[in-house]
Amino acid sequence: MAAYNPGVIDPIELNADLHCHSDVSDGTLSPEGVAARAHANGVQLWSLTDHDEVGGQQRALRAARELGLPYLSGVEVSVTFAGKTVHIVGLGFDIEDAALREGLAATRGGRGQRAHEMAQALAEAGIENAYEGALRYVGNPELISRTHFARFLVDSGVCANTPEVFRHYLADGKPGFVPHRWAALADAVGWIRGAGGMAVIAHPGRYNFSPNEEHAFVGEFKALGGEGVEVVTGSHRPDEYPKYAAMALEFGLYASRGSDFHSPDESHTDLGTLPLLPGKLIPVWELLAERVHMP
Ligand code: AMP
Ligand code: MN
Ligand code: MN
Ligand code: MN
């Protein structure tokens, strides 16, 4: 594989989008559709990071190649750490790696049962047939997620939009929330690293950790071999970027950038439209240059 060389520009100025979803998890576009949109929006290095699933990677890679778009393999692993759900993005791994695939399959495994329990909880809150309703939006039967329930609740008129569904029904502590045990942090980082990839903390601003908990989480992640953190993400407000830039510098982590795009109708941040990474940071793609699939 040819080493990736972004060429004329300073690497920090690259329009990389290394976090987004297709209908192989909880996005609404196909992997090919996400690729076309990333390309049309001027993305120069792309990764599709579906939740707990690499089933879309071959299609994403093929579509990127046809569009002339450099590509890094990607995944977003659901993890339970200190009783909270956190997300770890993997980038630049071998998509055929057996241990990674088995680990992801085990992580996906509880989703069906959880979805039935969510539907039961929603029924007790007065919303009937939510399992069947959510299933209509699911592209991959192994990947039924809260997002699919949210689409059902919006389209059936219960709520006006997906953030409202989460606020009223699906966030931790709300009537339709069912606690779930995801992968262990050590396992998620281990699967990604074992497959030759880089583990990156996804949207660290979303976890409601206290400062002490956050420090423990990032310290443990780093001790396990985690190497990156998302600094500029569609899941952070712009005023949060400096805090996570400082985190990257404090912990010696590479910085990543990604829209977390799910759907043209729902996502407030489109592919490839985020500000660039702040200066002084080292982007993850500097370390991953050898792992980029060139068109
Ligand atoms: P799950 O993996 O089934 O727990 O679903 C998590 C997904 O729900 C995330 O990946 C987001 O796509 C979506 N999500 C979580 N919180 C919110 C929110 N407050 N507003 C909109 N979508 C959300
Ligand atoms: Mn999602
Ligand atoms: Mn996430
Ligand atoms: Mn995501």
In a domain, 5, yes or no: no
Instruction: Quote the number of domains for the chain.
Output: 2
Q: Once rounded to an integer, what is the mean pLDDT over residues 201-219? A: 97
Span 239-252, mean pLDDT? 97
Tell me how far apart the alpha carbons of residues 224 and 280 are, in angstroms, rounded to a whole number: 25
**Spatial distance between the Cα atoms of 14 and 109, rounded to a whole number of angstroms:** 37
Question: Do residue 31 and residue 134 come from a single domain?
Answer: no
Residue 120 lies in a domain: yes
Note whether residue 44 is domain-resident.
yes
DSSP code, position 161: S
Q: Assess whether pLDDT exceeds 60 at residue 1.
A: no
87 and 117 share a domain?
A: no
Q: Are 200 and 58 members of one domain?
A: yes
> Alpha helices of 179-275 — where are they, by DSSP H?
185-194, 211-223, 241-251
* Residue written as token pair 């712009």: 238
- Gap between the Cα atoms of 92 and 48, Å rounded: 11
- Minimal-distance CA residue to ligand 1 atom 13: 147
Residue 41 and residue 58: Cα distance in Å, rounded? 22
- 124 and 225 together in one domain: no
- Name the residue at shortest CA distance from atom 8 of ligand 1: 147
Cα separation, 228 vs 237, whole angstroms: 19
Find the CATH number of the domain harbouring 118: 1.10.150.650
Does 103 lie in the same domain as 34? yes
In this predicted model, what pLDDT tens digit does every residue of 28-83 receive, in sequence order?
999 999 999 999 999 999 999 999 999 999 999 999 999 999 999 999 999 999 99
Answer whether 291 contacts ligand 1 (Cβ < 6 A).
Answer: no
Report how far residue 223's alpha carbon sits from residue 225's, in angstroms, rounded to the nearest whole number.
5
Q: Is residue 86 part of a domain?
A: yes
Contact between residue 88 and residue 202 where contact means Cβ atoms under 8 Å apart: yes
Say if ligand 1 is within 6 A of residue 78 CB.
yes
Q: Which residue's alpha carbon is nearest to atom 3 within ligand 1?
A: 145
Does residue 185 share a domain with residue 84? yes
Backbone angles phi, psi at 177, to 5 degrees: -85, 130
- Any atom of ligand 1 within 6 Å of the Cβ of 28: no
Provide the 3-class DSSP secondary structure of residue 175: coil
Same domain for 162 and 205, yes or no, is no
Q: What domain range is 136 assigned to? A: 111-170
C-beta of 147 in contact with ligand 1 (< 6 A): yes
Find out whether the beta carbon of 166 lies less than 6 Å from any atom of ligand 1.
yes
Mean pLDDT of 241-260: 98
Question: Are both 152 and 240 inside the same structural domain?
Answer: no
Question: Tokens for 80?
Answer: 């339970």
- Residue 178 is given by DSSP the state -
Residue 208 backbone phi and psi in degrees, to 5: 55, 35
Distance 123 CA to ligand 1 centre (A): 20
Is residue 7, in this structure, part of any structural domain at all? Answer: no
Q: Are residues 68 and 192 in the same domain?
A: yes
* CATH (domain of 208): 3.20.20.140
Instruction: State yes or no: pLDDT of 185 exceeds 80.
Output: yes
pLDDT tens column, 269-290: 999 999 999 988 999 999 999 9
Ligand 4 mean position, distance from CA 256 (Å): 13
Query: Domain for residue 2, yes or no?
Result: no
Position 1 in a domain: no
* Largest Cα–Cα separation, the chain: 59
- 101 and 158 inside one domain: no
Task: Say yes or no: 52 and 124 in one domain.
Answer: no
Identify whether residues 162 and 18 lie together within a single domain.
Answer: no
Q: Is residue 269 part of a domain?
A: yes
Instruction: Convert the pLDDT of each residue in 104-116 to its tens digit.
Output: 999 999 999 999 9
